[in-house]
Amino acid sequence: MKILYHQNFEITDNLKNINMALATNINDLLNKQKIESNRIEFKKGWNPASIYHSICAFANDFDDLGGGYIIVGVNTDDKTGMAIRPVEGVPIEKIDGILQEMVGYNSRITPYYLPRTSIEEVDGKRLIVIWCPAGSYRPYSVPVNVTAKGTKEYYYIRSGTSNIEARGEVLVELRELANRVPFDERGNSDIQLEDISLVLLRDYLVKVGSKLAEELITTPLSTILDQMELYTGPKENRLLRNVAAMMFCENPSRFFPYTQIDVVTFPNGKMKDPNNFTEVTFKGSIPQMIKQTMDYIKSNVLKEHVRKISGRQEAERFWNYPYDAIEEAVVNSVYHRDYLQHEPIEITVEPSGISILNCPGPDRSISKEEIKRGDMLKSRRYRNRRLGDFLKELDLTEGRSTGVPTIQTKLAENGSPRAIFETTDDRLTLLVTIPVHKGCYESSEMHPESSERTSKSSERKRKSSERILDLIKNKPTISAAEIAMDIDMSSRGVEKQIKKLREAGIIKRNGADFGGYWEIVKLDDK
């Protein structure tokens, strides 16, 4: 028996389980937007041997990027690798046969793996989109030619935009990945279907332009979630993945305690007036939490300043903090946090800057030197791989390890100092400090430069070491980043001064970088 598919052509009944609407927008894939280019592969025509190498490589997901997409029926520009429009398309009369072939070829992947397919109409032509999410039972192997019998099987992984055979140490590491399923992709027996909000789910699907939004009216919720690859486990014990609750549950803290963002504001500074503060907590799904937090910061923290410069007709305009930099830092903290940690994301707002404390810090594949430089923090292992995909679809993050560069770029464009990144030796926390624009000190709108010089002239006459000692005396738990902001010195300069003080036996550190404190052993007699 044949059924009518939504693109107005027929496919056989036994294929409907592998043909599903995309959870993303086809034009975003063709334009290589929101999804990394190395996760998208264009094929002019149906070539099963080559295509199944790609399916196997995406399923293995060696770099923990979230699998990939293969789009059949697209020519590419030789120089740019971009899709040529209008698309070539796949003849309608061949589509049913190709899908039938895939049913048999899928069984030749070991262990069994089922890619999802969707038939999309673009430029008046039909495309076959093969979605290959990261497999739950990797590593996967496939014959070098699925169309021939008795051919040797190989393990394939992605290397840039190509597929290569995994050998030697790479194959060993690939096999080890079986025990490293990211937290957000793990099944959770506590999450039930009734915990998923139809409102949140539909809102997401509409925002990303998915055709699944239309199907919500007539299709069971469980089917939609299955099409979005939000279930895992065998048929007899299907479990919703953690990311389903993170994204589409009104109260994910039921499953992951302290899934919240605390914003604490010290109007006079935490050190000067520690008892004068306001605290606001934001909960809800991940997109709700981000939106509420950024709405609050936009309304209560961000301010545009106007500064008149002598000899200039136009006034200089700048923000105390650029919105995009703060948003990127907040989204990154939500994306990379460990949801098993019973610690909220803590954002502290002071006159000198905004700090974001997250648990835990970056994994050990990123050196402390890289973290201190604050240029790019690139890790191949993600705690929450799928969550990143959802956030990219909502244009909340770009991925590709661009979070830190984006923060620094937006700060530079605003004329702000660079953000400072700090972690502990045991990587228990990551502290991101975003200093306020130097033109935003008290009375800066009238005479910013002279005001800054006047307010700090006496301080600068004193030795930097003396100023550091005063800060430590008043706040033994103070960090190097906080000291740098308070005395208007580079983080590297502060670290050099602290090193000198420690070597001279004037101060010592008790405990870890975070959670520990400074102790003044003796006063400098100089």
Is 12 a residue whose pLDDT tops 60? no
Tokens of 248: 């589409």
Q: What is the domain range of residue 511?
A: 462-520
Who has greater pLDDT, 54 or 424? Answer: 54
Instruction: Look at residue 94 in the predicted model and tell me its pLDDT.
Output: 94
Q: What CATH code is carried by the domain that includes residue 380?
A: 3.30.565.60
| pLDDT confidence of residue 379 | 63
Residues 226 and 277 placed together within one structural domain of the fold: no
Write down the H helix ranges in 107-255.
168-176, 198-208, 212-215, 221-227, 242-248
493: CATH: 1.10.10.10
* pLDDT for res 454: 39
- % of the chain at pLDDT higher than 70: 86
* Single residue among 400, 421, 436 that ends a domain in this structure: 436
Output the pTM of the full model.
Answer: 0.66
In a domain, 61, yes or no: yes
Domain membership flag for residue 104: yes
pLDDT at 21 over 80: no
Location of structure tokens 């072939």? 101
Check pLDDT > 90 for residue 271. no
| Position with higher pLDDT, 160 vs 2 | 160
Q: Does 21 reside within a domain? A: yes
pLDDT tens digits, one per residue of 405-457: 899 999 999 999 999 998 877 778 889 999 999 888 643 443 334 334 434 44
Q: Are residues 103 and 143 in the same domain?
A: yes
Tens of pLDDT, residues 164-177: 999 888 888 888 77
| Tens digit of each residue's pLDDT (9 = 90 or more) over 349-372 | 999 999 999 888 776 767 777 777
> Are 235 and 296 members of one domain?
no
Q: Which of 99, 102, 76 is nearest to 2 (CA)?
A: 99
- Of 66, 56, 62, nearest in space to 169 by CA: 62
* Distance of alpha carbon 232 from alpha carbon 242, whole angstroms: 10
Residue 366 has a pLDDT of 74
Residues 226 and 273 placed together within one structural domain of the fold: no
- Same-domain check for residues 169 and 194: no
- The confidence score (pLDDT) of residue 427 equals 78
Query: What gap in Å lies between CA 414 and CA 125, rounded to an integer?
Result: 46
Q: Are the beta carbons of 411 and 437 closer than 8 angstroms? A: no
Tens of pLDDT, residues 177-200: 766 778 898 889 899 999 999 999
pLDDT at position 449: 40
**267 and 157 co-located in one domain:** no
Mean pLDDT over the full length of the chain = 84
Instruction: Judge whether 205 lies within some domain.
Output: yes
Is 311 among the domain residues?
Answer: no
Closest to 427 (Cα-Cα) out of 367, 339, 355:
367
Percent of the chain predicted with pLDDT > 90: 48
Return d(Cα 101, Cα 104) in angstroms, integer: 5
- pLDDT given at position 378: 64
**144 and 243 housed in the same domain:** no
Q: 197 lies in a domain?
A: yes
Hey, what are 453's tokens?
């010089």
pLDDT higher than threshold 80 for residue 237 = no
Distance (Å, whole) CA 22 – CA 32: 15
Q: Has residue 7 got a pLDDT over 70? A: no
Residue 499 pLDDT > 80? yes
pLDDT of 194:
96
Residue 462 has a pLDDT of 55
Q: In this predicted model, which residue has the larger pLDDT, 24 or 260?
A: 260
Q: Are 267 and 376 found together in one domain?
A: yes
Average of pLDDT values for 113-139?
91
Total of domains in the chain: 4
**Residue 512: is its pLDDT beyond 90?**
no
Give the span between the Cα atoms of 369 and 371, in whole angstroms.
Answer: 5
Same domain assignment for residues 274 and 410: yes
Last residue of a domain, one of 213, 228, 249: 249
Residues 70, 189, single domain; the answer is no
Are residues 148 and 266 both part of a single domain? no
Handedness of CA 152, 157, 163, 167 (dihedral sign): negative
Instruction: Classify residue 453: in a domain, yes or no.
Output: no
Domain boundary among 190, 224, 249: 249
Q: Does the pLDDT value for residue 291 go beyond 50?
A: yes
Can you give the CATH number for the domain in which 31 is found?
3.30.950
Q: Which of 32-41, 95-104, 212-221 has the lowest mean pLDDT?
A: 32-41
Same domain, 121 and 159: yes
Report the pLDDT value the prediction gives residue 526, as an integer from 0 to 100: 45
Q: Tokens in use for 345?
A: 């994301």
Residue 44 is predicted with a pLDDT of: 95
Residue 306 lies in a domain: no
Which of 9-23, 258-272, 467-481 has the least mean pLDDT? 9-23
Q: What's the confidence (pLDDT) of residue 425?
A: 76
